[in-house]
């Protein structure tokens, strides 16, 4: 590191408040850490992560400096889609623990300054959910079937699916049922796997049930919900065929206009609490104006910004994405979110180490040439870049360790995306591998010494990336994250200051935050000179003769008076 690097004002542990910040606008600038429970830490040694494991690692999360945890679905589930097939929205999967464990975790996290966000899945339930089981048993025409989308097939004998809709996991969105006498029966709709039947949101029971589920968790101290597949729950009840080029709101199952009523009702529930609860939407929409509608003041607080995450490592493309994102949020007054990855996406160090460094689901393949050293360098730069952008920051577990995507043996993969692609797509399990906590031991500290093997095998490269190995290494990804989050927490300019673009030469992204902080990322091939500054707060790579080398980011302090707006 360069000599004039200032050490962060305090260690993250010192900086973290003892209990959560009372600021009701905490979600506007929060750092939210995503916990994929199954792979975070295994408290009972059965090879699967659990709530006991998370509780034991709360000091780690507090020291990292995060404001909230978002838990992927932790409910009872047959795990046909990693828990996004929920059997009981008010319970905890027995392999993760009990409801009492969840309550203890929520309380303990809050005591160390960390709020809890849970995942709510409104579009579909598990086929083992009591409502779907009752619907199957009750048969065609029954009120039980009205809560789903059961329909007769087309063709002479009902042998054709009712529509030509395509599942998000490939194939048809319809599966045919069997009548009790063994004859083929009605079809039912599932935008994902057949084990995830879609709910009918025109049905009052569906609406009432979800509002009650929200209250159930909010009453237990949950600070907010991440809403799964949030643009999908409402369907066109006429079940038309797919239009060729649907205009906004015309698609039969994406972003229907009526969907906003649901979230307005949820917002009313969230706002009825003394500390209003927060709604975060998983909204995959290309149309910026349609996306922003979900963030109107009486709907969701924030939604994931996936646009930036899909960009290749390219200054122009990334800067354009940042500009687009800020512009689309401005009219509704909602903060942007910055997301480098999640449990569905190829890990950043792998993505940025590839020639095609953008992300698209249909381009995932095993065996793609990857330069992990380059990818790691860029992921470090991207971590500082996104942490310096205005809004809320998400960190997916393991990204703070620089874990690469794992190329798993095919016979251990569980993800339905893999199977429904006929084995062409490796699926998403490669970013869901259990975390390495220690550099040695059977499961690299994921479980105790005598623990069962982790549910997915850890690649050999994980040992060197274990938390224990990185703790003492000032050049590690973990310490970069800790320093960055501590600085962001302690410097109002960096966390909450206005963004002003700086027009600097080269393939760079450069902006000032507030009066006195500058973030500069070099995405070009040659080192770039630093603009005038009073100090260097943090760099993702050592400076070279005072210049910022390729694929790196620096945070500077600057003289407030000397600033010019771009």
List contacts with ligand GLC (CB under 6 A).
Answer: 81-82, 84, 121, 192, 228-229, 282, 343-344
Nearest Cα neighbor of 305 from 320, 291, 317, 293 is 291
Q: Which is nearer to ligand GLC, 82 or 404 (CB)?
A: 82
CB of 484 to ligand GLC, least distance (A): 26
Q: E strands of 100-173, at which residues?
A: 115-120, 150-151
Q: Which is nearer to ligand GLC, 67 or 81 (CB)?
A: 81
CB of 417 to ligand GLC, least distance (A): 8
| C-alpha span between 448 and 43 (Å, rounded) | 8
Intra-chain end-to-end CA distance of the chain, in Å: 29
Q: Which is nearer to ligand GLC, 81 or 551 (CB)?
A: 81
Helical ranges in 29-112 per DSSP H: 51-56, 58-64, 99-111
Q: Which is nearer to ligand GLC, 169 or 437 (CB)?
A: 169
CB of 360 to ligand GLC, least distance (A): 14
Backbone angles phi, psi at 226, to 5 degrees: -95, 125
| C-alpha span between 162 and 154 (Å, rounded) | 6
Q: Which is nearer to ligand GLC, 303 or 517 (CB)?
A: 303
Q: Quick check: helix, strand or coil at residue 366?
A: coil
Structure-block tokens of residue 41: 């830490």
Determine how many CB atoms are found less than 10 A away from the CB of residue 562: 10
Q: Which is nearer to ligand GLC, 197 or 434 (CB)?
A: 197
CB of 170 to ligand GLC, least distance (A): 13
Nearest Cα neighbor of 504 from 525, 524, 530 is 530
Those residues with Cβ within 8 angstroms of residue 346's Cβ, 6 or more apart along the chain or in another chain: 359, 364, 405, 430, 431
Q: Which is nearer to ligand GLC, 26 or 70 (CB)?
A: 70
User: In Å, how far from its chain's centre is CA 496?
Assistant: 22
CB of 419 to ligand GLC, least distance (A): 13
Q: Quick check: helix, strand or coil at residue 261?
A: helix
Residue 458 contacts residue 436 (beta carbons within 8 Å): yes
- Radius of gyration of the CA atoms of the chain, in A: 24
CB of 69 to ligand GLC, least distance (A): 16
Q: Which is nearer to ligand GLC, 20 or 280 (CB)?
A: 280
CB of 232 to ligand GLC, least distance (A): 9
Nearest Cα neighbor of 226 from 14, 394, 440, 475 is 394
Q: Which is nearer to ligand GLC, 417 or 541 (CB)?
A: 417
CB of 84 to ligand GLC, least distance (A): 3
Q: Compute CA distances 369 → 111, 166, 340, 352, whole Å.
A: 45, 31, 21, 11
With tokens 């770039």, the residue in question is 528
- ∠ CA 325-328-332, nearest 5°, is 130
Residue 139 contacts residue 150 (beta carbons within 8 Å): no
Nearest Cα neighbor of 454 from 426, 476, 482, 434 is 434
CB of 389 to ligand GLC, least distance (A): 22
With tokens 């009981």, the residue in question is 88
Q: Quick check: helix, strand or coil at residue 413?
A: coil
Q: Which is nearer to ligand GLC, 38 or 343 (CB)?
A: 343
Q: Quick check: helix, strand or coil at residue 229?
A: coil
Cβ-closest position to ligand GLC: 84
CB of 192 to ligand GLC, least distance (A): 5
Q: Which is nearer to ligand GLC, 191 or 494 (CB)?
A: 191
């Amino acid at each position: 590191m360069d000599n004039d690097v200032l050490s962060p004002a305090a260690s993250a542990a010192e900086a973290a408040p003892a209990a959560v910040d009372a600021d009701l606008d905490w979600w506007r600038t929060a750092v939210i850490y995503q916990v994929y429970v199954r792979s975070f830490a295994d408290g009972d040694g059965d090879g699967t992560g659990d709530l006991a494991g998370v509780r034991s690692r709360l000091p780690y999360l507090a020291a990292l400096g995060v404001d909230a945890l978002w838990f992927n679905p932790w409910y009872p589930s047959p795990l046909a889609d990693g828990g996004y097939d929920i059997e009981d929205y008010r319970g905890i999967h027995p392999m993760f623990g009990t409801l009492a464990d969840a309550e203890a975790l929520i309380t303990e996290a809050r005591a160390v300054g960390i709020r809890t966000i849970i995942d709510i899945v409104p579009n579909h339930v598990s086929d083992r959910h009591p409502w779907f089981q009752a619907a199957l048993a009750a048969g065609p025409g029954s009120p039980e079937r009205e809560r789903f989308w059961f329909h007769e097939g087309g063709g002479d004998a009902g042998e054709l699916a009712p529509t030509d809709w395509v599942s998000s996991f490939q194939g048809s969105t319809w599966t045919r049922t069997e009548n009790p006498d063994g004859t083929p029966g009605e079809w039912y709709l599932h935008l994902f796997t057949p084990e995830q039947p879609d709910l009918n949101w025109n049905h009052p029971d569906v609406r009432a049930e979800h509002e009650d589920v929200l209250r159930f968790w909010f009453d237990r101290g949950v600070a907010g919900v991440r809403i799964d597949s949030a643009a999908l729950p409402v369907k066109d009840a006429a079940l038309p065929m797919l239009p060729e080029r649907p205009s906004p709101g015309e698609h039969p199952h994406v972003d229907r206009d009526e969907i906003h009523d649901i979230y307005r009702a949820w917002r009313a529930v969230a706002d009825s609490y003394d500390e209003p609860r927060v709604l975060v939407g998983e909204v995959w929409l290309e149309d910026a104006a349609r996306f922003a509608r979900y963030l109107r003041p009486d709907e969701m607080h924030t939604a994931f910004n996936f646009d930036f995450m899909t960009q290749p490592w390219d200054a122009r493309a990334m800067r354009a994405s940042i500009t687009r994102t800020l512009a689309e949020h401005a009219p509704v007054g909602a903060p942007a979110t910055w997301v480098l990855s999640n449990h569905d996406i190829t890990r950043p160090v792998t993505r940025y180490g590839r020639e095609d460094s953008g992300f698209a689901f249909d381009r995932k393949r095993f065996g793609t040439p990857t330069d992990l050293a380059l990818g790691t360098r860029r992921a470090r730069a991207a971590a500082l870049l996104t942490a310096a952008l205005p809004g809320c920051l998400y960190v997916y577990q393991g990204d703070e360790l620089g874990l690469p995507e794992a190329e798993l043996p095919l016979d251990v993969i569980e993800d339905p995306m893999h199977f429904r692609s006929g084995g062409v797509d490796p699926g998403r399990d490669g970013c869901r591998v259990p975390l390495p906590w220690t550099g040695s031991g059977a499961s690299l500290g994921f479980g105790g010494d005598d623990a069962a093997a982790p549910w997915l095998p850890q690649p050999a490269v994980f040992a060197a990336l274990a938390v224990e190995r990185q703790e003492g290494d000032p050049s590690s990804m973990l310490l970069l994250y800790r320093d960055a989050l501590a600085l962001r927490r302690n410097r109002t300019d960096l966390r909450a200051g206005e963004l002003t673009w700086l027009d600097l030469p080269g393939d760079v992204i450069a902006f000032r935050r507030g009066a006195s902080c500058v973030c500069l990322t070099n995405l070009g091939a040659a080192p770039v000179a630093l603009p005038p500054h009073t100090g260097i707060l943090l760099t993702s790579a050592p400076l070279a003769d005072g210049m910022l080398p390729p694929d790196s980011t620096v945070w500077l302090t600057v003289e407030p008076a000397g600033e010019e707006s771009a």
